[in-house]
Amino acid sequence: MTDAMLTVLLQQSLLLCLGIALLRALRPLLKRLSAGATYAAWLLLPALLLTPALPRPQQEPLAVVLQAAAGGQAGLLPALPAPLSSQAPLWLLLWLGGAVVVVAVQARRQRRLARFGDRLPAGTSPALVGLLRPRIALPADFESRFDVAERELVIAHEQVHRDRLDNLWNLLACAITALHWWNPLAWWAARRMQADQELACDAAVLATRPAATAIYTRALLAAHGLNSLGAPLASRWGTTHPLVERIEMLNHPRLLPRRRAAVLCAALLGIIGAAYAAQGSEPDAPVAASAQKIEIQLQVSTGEFKASPRLITTLGARTSIQWGATPASSWRLDFTVTQDPDGQLQVVTEPRYGDKPLARHTGHVASGKSVAHRVGGNDVPTLQMTRVVKLLPADFKMPP
């Protein structure tokens, strides 16, 4: 189970890195669209992380196309290496332990912010705090730091955070960074996403107040250097990302037309679909040699006794058959079948009559070929035996 969990986490980490790299490469194009488009594009990351959980078709279309192009060869899609079973528990404990530490630190920051209620200490940034019933928390020096027009814009900014459920996305980003605490790309993406969140809110506020650009710029300058009291469930007015970037966006606002929004959505869906198709379903694992089923068909006769038993076992396993009227006059045959490098089957037969072991016999035979063998003599009855040993198909099911 630990191997499976570690494999899932590694798969999630690979998808996260690919998604972040893709968003980084597309960032110049997204910024030309609008601040809202840049912020909305971050939805690609959770969507990619959810693709392994989606149901898969019985026939993988991409795998079929690739295999057809390669002449029917299998194994075209890359797969994650399986973690070593002996080290998997240690790596899993380290991975989850780090995640627990990050969650504990973030929970402590959230409790500290919640203790202030609606009135934050002077010198801190206004913020929208909470998830189910978010509230706008203002610092004690809010009225003295901002004039009436600036205060109206700050509150409008936080209201946009509330309408867009930005604290929910902040919580999701916190969860992803906690689970991938060792990955610097995850932390960069979380900081960049929150910066884009603020830019998108700025653009949304100014879209309804196009004449307030100068006042909005003054409000940003007045908030420069405020303590943000960072917490997972908090959308803040003042952030640590460059102030110049926000002011530049105010001077060159870009709105996202519906047509461009539709193109962006189609592009993101196409990327998600390609990632889903490329993963494919896990190919059936080859049957391990130790799990290969074999069939032993016997014909035995001793005196007037005759029988044709059939045994089904696995390569390398020891299997037995026994018959007789009394323990002293009973026969027991022990078989162990292995496969030689050349594909032939090595059959080791260990007969026993009563409590007396008889000569061990080792034979090499091709699958499906019969071998006759006789044991006994002197004070032991003679047993005539014919064996046919053959490999069973990998999908063989044991009969009821």
Q: Are residues 356 and 226 in the same domain?
A: no
pLDDT higher than 70, residue 259: yes
pLDDT in tens, 382-399: 889 898 999 888 777 766
What's the rounded mean pLDDT across residues 285-299?
71
Q: Are residues 224 and 175 in the same domain?
A: yes
Q: Which residue shows structure tokens 């027991």?
A: 332
- Per the CB < 8 A criterion, the answer to whether 205 and 157 are in contact is yes
Find the domain containing 181 and state its range.
86-251
Q: Which of 226, 251, 276 is the last residue of a domain?
A: 251
Q: Are residues 105 and 216 in the same domain?
A: yes
Q: Are residues 242 and 351 in the same domain?
A: no
Q: Which residue shows structure tokens 């061990």?
A: 360
How far is the C-alpha of 334 from the C-alpha of 332, rounded, in Å?
Answer: 7
How far is the C-alpha of 10 from the C-alpha of 16, rounded, in Å?
Answer: 10
- Per the CB < 8 A criterion, the answer to whether 381 and 324 are in contact is no
Q: Are residues 141 and 224 in the same domain?
A: yes
Q: Which of 225, 251, 277 is the last residue of a domain?
A: 251
pLDDT in tens, 174-216: 999 999 999 999 999 999 999 899 989 998 998 899 889 899 9
How many independent structural domains does the chain possess? 2
Percent of the chain beyond pLDDT 90?
34
Structure tokens at 219: 């409000």
Of the candidate ranges 159-173, 222-236, 355-369, the one whose mean pLDDT is the lowest: 222-236
Q: Are residues 241 and 337 in the same domain?
A: no
pLDDT for residue 93: 92
Q: Which residues contact 149 (CB under 8 A, 6 or more apart)?
A: 212, 215
pLDDT higher than 90, residue 142: yes
**Helix (H, G, I), strand (E, B), or coil: what is residue 191?**
helix
DSSP code of residue 257: -
- Residue 176 in any domain: the answer is yes
Helix axes 148-163, 166-179, angle to 10 degrees: 60
- Residue 304 in any domain: the answer is yes
pLDDT for residue 244: 65
Q: Are residues 298 and 222 in the same domain?
A: no
- Residue 71 in any domain: the answer is no
How far is the C-alpha of 282 from the C-alpha of 313, rounded, in Å?
Answer: 28
Among the ranges 76-80, 95-99, 203-207, which has the highest mean pLDDT value? 95-99
How far is the C-alpha of 385 from the C-alpha of 298, rounded, in Å?
Answer: 7
pLDDT for residue 182: 95
- Residue 53 in any domain: the answer is no
Q: Are residues 112 and 234 in the same domain?
A: yes
pLDDT for residue 269: 84
Nearest to 49 by CA among 83, 12, 100, 76: 12
pLDDT higher than 80, residue 145: yes
pLDDT higher than 60, residue 290: no
Q: Which residue shows structure tokens 């604290």?
A: 167
More confident residue, 323 or 83: 323
Q: Which residues contact 118 (CB under 8 A, 6 or more apart)?
A: 135, 136, 137, 138
pLDDT higher than 50, residue 286: no
- In this prediction, residue 75 has a pLDDT band, given cuts at 50, 70 and 90, of very low
- Residue 233 in any domain: the answer is yes
What's the rounded mean pLDDT across residues 233-237?
82
Helix axes 258-279, 61-69, angle to 10 degrees: 70
